[in-house]
Structure 1
């Protein structure tokens, strides 16, 4: 009996050891999803094997740019580096990468399947006017960002795009789709960060999602240029949850650290006139009367007047000029409309093309915030109906008289 008991104990121990061994690889393989902020070596400040070169170094092989996989001609550049008579722009820090013709650089990150993420990155062009960056999340979306328009005098801008994770890994890749005659041309990439997005619940008595713009992409601290949101026609996968950027120019996502924000921490600055439209489809009840309200302000970035916003709500459109009273830096605006369908479009764009008074090449515009749409109550509707009836009666009485 003792021998049988001993054998059973040994067998049980062996079974437990086998189970632990089988579980070990899975445990070791599991990796926590990426945290909000810079990707690993997302600022390209980690030195490659042998250190940084004094001049542009052509990356060759997967390990030449730590934590990134490259394809084609990718150069590590340094701040202040010259190319002919031109100084190469490094958006932040001391180093960045430049992508040659048809070259790409990518990184695999762990994500939560089904969740939405925003990718923020800084980009600049070099010597070609029509340079662009194609940003793809394999298994997700692919979008080309046009770098032709510069929104500030520094020569670079920060952008944000969004994707939904279709697996537990996302391969984020940046590619130069251009084929320039001069192989030393090509866009510069720096400061690649990620942030998991959450779609806020609809607040009480407001059918607008994320109307205060508090949920959005990662923003780098101490950056005075905000984050540009380029064209995105899918409100379901947007770096600004709930909203679409309809036009061919970007709008700017700003925060209160560097800009004047009417309410809360973040807001939207409208750029490029009708070429920078932000919109949302909201749920409404047909034939019901609604009120669209929002706050209109100035970002405090020396934007030259006049500034005005065109607001759309269903079949109503109204122009609001920025003209605050006294020491106020913002003002309220209101549009009343009757819904014609179960979904109604609300949209905004800047009436004018504005630039800064201290920098005529930097685009700017009015700021919008705290957007609300709610149905007018029955009492208000009854009051309006009574007023209409009394008005008709008065007119009829005058005619008869």
Structure 2
């Protein structure tokens, strides 16, 4: 850049009539160069990561059967340990699995990892979405890391008939240059035993604000993880610790190993807006948000409960808790969509009140996969006393 400026300075030694036009041209060129440099160093955008679906294959010279032998053989990725590059429909032991995005996926064996460097906006919150499928009987989970944040994503439970589920995990970027690492900590005797992974995408998460008098933020669940437009099974939001960032912020998932499903109006029946949450794990996973309240103040919690139009038929019900109050909202589902409103009035006893939604029963679809009631359009509003209203 310094040499370029020197050249421009010498070029401006021209007759006085040309001085102004030459200066304009020089400044325009400088701006174009700066803009190009900014674009080349810009943070990654929402959507599929570079070769996030693994369609760019390793060179055959760096393969031994399905095993990838070169550390940098998979374009845009770095691998460690026993990693296989698998074609859709390829035999893996006694299993045949399709690939959700394109024709190829990666299998992580015991203690195997895959890594991609990312350029992000420091301080922003992001959510990573990826697809995974079990290939072993062990209690499988994946460690996901963006230094210094580390999370565990349990994938033991299968929520779709295809065997593939999409999962989300969120973090705050502590640095502009980071590494996304996915690691299989499995301890099977078979070194190749581990999950298939595919379709990695990223999305920057906005900070939801309270709307009108609603104390709940993101009550309509419009802000959440990236959903692949060509997949019809939603995105699982796994359980998280108190210090974790949530893909559904500020909602968190209270559970041991089960998840809730984030669904979109393009593939599901959604009570309002474009997104909602399906409680697919019965009483094993609760949707929780903590809000500031005034002790002694009365509040009204309202929400929609229904079915996602995904064939989940039967008696569905959601129980909502707030302070010492609770309400059970039943919904008789035909599996074709629909919803009703429910409400709970309570008096706050603390300065912080937890609002909790949980499904009261385990429900399955005809194909045997888990499903449950949909929750959407939640609001929490302070109720004024009768004396204040009269004034």
Q: For the residues of structure 2 that align with 1:335 and 1:126, how far apart are their CA atoms?
A: 44
CA contact (8 A) 1:89 1:124 kept: no
1:247 to 2:279 alignment: no
Distance 1:284 1:84, change over 3 A: closer
Match of 2:51 among 34, 41, 44: 41
- Tell me the equivalent position of 2:382: 375
Give the alignment of 1:328-343 within 5 angstroms: 329-343=338-352
1:225 lines up with 2:233 in the alignment: yes
Residues 134-153 of structure 1: pairs in structure 2 closer than 5 A: 134-139=143-148, 141-153=149-161
Structure 2 Cα separation of the partners of residues 291 and 180 of structure 1? 51
For residues 91-114 of structure 1, give each alpha carbon's deviation from its aligned partner in whole angstroms, at most 9, with x where no partner exists: 332100001111100101110000
Superposed displacement of residue 323, structure 1: 3.9
Deviations 1:356-386, CA, capped at 9 Å, x for gaps: 1x212x1000001000000112348768xxx
- Counterpart of 1:77 (choices 52, 75, 86) is 86
The CA deviation at 1:143 is 1.4
- Any residues of structure 2 matched to 1:188-199 within 5 Å, and which? 188-199=196-207
**Separation in structure 2 between the aligned mates of residue 127 and residue 225 of structure 1, nearest angstrom:** 22
Cα distance change, pair 304–323 in 1 and its aligned pair in 2 (3 A): closer
| 2:151 match: secondary structure | strand
Instruction: Measure the CA separation in 2 of the matches of 1:106 and 1:155.
Output: 24
SS at match of 2:313: coil
With over 3 angstroms needed to count, the CA separation of the structure-2 counterparts of 1:368 and 1:47, relative to structure 1, is same
2:220 match:
212
CA distance in 2, matches of 1:305, 1:225: 20
Asked if the contact 1:128–1:186 (Cα under 8 Å) also holds between the matched residues in 2, the reply is: no
Are 1:122 and 2:131 counterparts? yes
Q: How large is the Cα RMSD of the aligned pairs?
A: 2.8
Q: Which residue of 1 aligns with 2:77?
A: 68
**What TM-score, normalized by structure 1, do the two folds share?**
0.84
Structure 2 counterpart of 1:155, from 163, 170, 185: 163
Q: Deviations over 1:38-97 (max 9, x none)?
A: 1000000012234997x9521122331110011111110001101333224423321000
Structure 2 residue 184 is matched with structure 1 residue 187: no
Instruction: Describe the shift of the 1:235–1:372 C-alpha distance in structure 2 as closer, same or farther (beyond 3 A).
Output: farther
The separation in 1 between residues aligned to 2:267 and 2:37, in whole angstroms, is: 44
Counterpart secondary structure, 1:274: helix
Which has the larger displacement, 67-76 or 127-136? 127-136
Specify every segment of 5 or more residues in structure 2 that has no aligned partner in the other structure, as ranges: 1-5, 12-29
- Which residue in the other structure is 2:42 paired with? 32
1:320 and 1:252 map into 2 onto residues whose CA distance is 19
- Structure with the greater alpha carbon radius of gyration: 1
Asked if the contact 1:290/1:373 (under 8 Å) is kept, the reply is: yes
Deviation track 1:250-272 (CA, whole Å, cap 9, x = no partner) reads: 00000011100000000000021
* 8 A contact 1:235–1:243 mirrored in 2: no
Structure 2 distance, partners of 1:219, 1:370, is 19
Closer, same or farther: CA 262–237 of 1 in aligned 2, 3 Å: same
**CA distance in structure 2 between the partners assigned to 1:240 and 1:28 by the alignment:** 31
In 2, Cα distance between the equivalents of 1:153 and 1:328?
Answer: 20
TM-score under structure 2 length normalisation: 0.86
Structure 1, unpaired ranges of 5+: 1-8, 15-19, 384-401
